[in-house]
Amino acid sequence: MYGFRLSKLEDGENVIFGPHMATSETKMSVHRPDDPGTATHTKYRVVCVTNQRVVIESGDSVLNVPTRDIQLVTIKRRPGKKGPSVFDLLWVKSKNGRRIELDIINQDVSRRAELESAFPNAEIKESKGLSGFLDKILGD
């Protein structure tokens, strides 16, 4: 369900944002004296926000962070291609200082209230201008 292989939603748990699925490939060299070649390794990542937690599956590992433990949510507002503006959920920061990339894109701005209710203890911050660029480069 929802593209997860390892996680299951609990009773009363609903997906609010996501799931966002992404893959990345890495090339690897295969060293054989008689037939050298290359291979690829594909990494699969699924991210979603439920009414109780942030769930991230990457490979064979799962990260669950309760939404009440998120202190900062960084978004980026963009004009919509065919209508009203949208926002992207870039990343969140937990109370222990861990930064978690979400990359959930193209959420309608009318969902801003859902975002605020999903993260009751978090400050919602917009990434824009030079400070947004520095956030991306410096990681905070």
pLDDT score at 38: 80
Query: Quick one: tokens of 53?
Result: 């937690």
**What is the residue-averaged pLDDT of the chain?**
86
Q: What pLDDT sits at residue 62?
A: 94
Assign residue 51 a region (left: φ > 0; alpha: ψ between -120 and 50; beta: otherwise): alpha
pLDDT of residue 56: 95
C-alpha dist (Å) from residue 34 to 27, 40, 109: 20, 20, 58
Give all domains of the chain, ordered by start, each with its CATH number: 15-29+37-138 (2.30.29)
- For the question of whether the overall pTM of this predicted structure is more than 0.95, the answer is no
The pLDDT of residue 93 is 96
Task: Report the alpha-carbon distance of residue 8 to residue 70 in Å, rounded.
Answer: 21
